[in-house]
Structure formats: C-alpha cells, structure tokens
Amino acid sequence: MQNRYAIEQLIEAGEWISQKGWVPATGGNFSAKTDSGFVVTASGHDKGQLTAEHFLQFDIHGQIESGAGKPSAETDLHLSLYQLDDQATCVLHTHSVAATVLSRFITTDTLMITGYEMQKSLTGVASHEETIQIAIFDNDQDIERLAEKVTARYQHSPLYHGILIRGHGLYAWGRSPAETRRHLEGLEFLFACELERIKLEASL
C-alpha cells in the first residue's frame, strides 16, 4: 500500500472503531504495511479523530523515517506480527470491555470458542463446529519482551486472526484493512457472546 492510502484506511477504521466504543480515551493503536515499511499511530491521540499528522512512518526494521510525535509504546509488537505473518498488512489494537474482561477471566493461555455461526467471519473458518483458539499473553510494560513471547509461541503454534493481552485488549490482523476490520468485528462479537454466556451460566 502507498502511505497515503494506508493512512486513509486507518483514519476510516479509527472513526468506525471509536463509534463502537472499543478505543476509550486515547487507547489503542493501528498500523498498516506500506511499500517501504509501515505506518503506525502516534501515541496520545483520540483514535476517532485521527488526521494524517497523527501517524509515523517506519522502515521494515522498525526505524522511524518520518512523522512527528511519540510512537506508540507497542510499535515493536506490531512489527513482530508483520514479521511472523508475511501476509498481514494491517493490525488494529483495541480495548473493548469484552476483550479486556475475558482476557482476565480466562486463566489459561488460550481462549477456546466454538458453536457460533459468526466464527465464519474469520478467514479460513468454515463452520460453527470448528474450535477457534485465541492465544492470551500476560500483560507486560516491556513490549520488547512481550513481542519475544508472542514470537516464541508462534514458532511452535501459529497464531491466526488475533491475540489477547491479559487485562489490556485485542490485537487483530488480516491481509487487508477490510479483512482486519472483519476479523476485529467478528472477534469482538464472539467475545461479547462468551462473556454473556459465562454470566448466564453463573446465575443458574
């Protein structure tokens, strides 16, 4: 993608995600691959009111080439996801209530989801009978160390569609901004369903 197109897509995604309530305050960060590297949102901006000035351009090694402001602290994790999945061209990181709460409620390192028709919103999933496995990683303020943990897990068990950071939120990715948005919306719906199911079962 050309830089301008990538930024336009992320601005549009930011408006949509903000309307969903998935990036409260100035939370979240977005990125997209470009012809020369990738662009990522600068830190501290309302993701529903992004402009072209709110993005930084990085080369393929994660070095800043242009842009003003402070890069997101989680830029290293975005770069790691692109390096792990060479088909990924967009990463959207959100902080929804469902994703944040579920990531804390599930004490294992994987959220297992099955039985929902909406699973088919995820590329490669053909049936509600399949089991979706979303990896969960403990939150860590050392993003480089967190990225290393994601990389280590991917090497023995490839990750698809998205990952959860405990008490933090979701990272969703895809082969295009449109596919990434579909994965994000599909996963958020599934998380909301699982959260409601858990609450209902607890009240029986």
Known binding-site residues for Zn(2+) equal 93, 95
Q: Are 148 and 119 in contact (CB under 8 A)?
A: no
| Residues found in the chain | 204
User: DSSP letter at 1?
Assistant: -
Tokens linked to 49 = 């009111």
Binding-site residue ranges: 93, 95
b or e along 39-51 (b: 16 or more beta carbons within 10 Å of the residue's beta carbon)? Answer: bbbbbebebbebe
Tokens linked to 83 = 């390096």
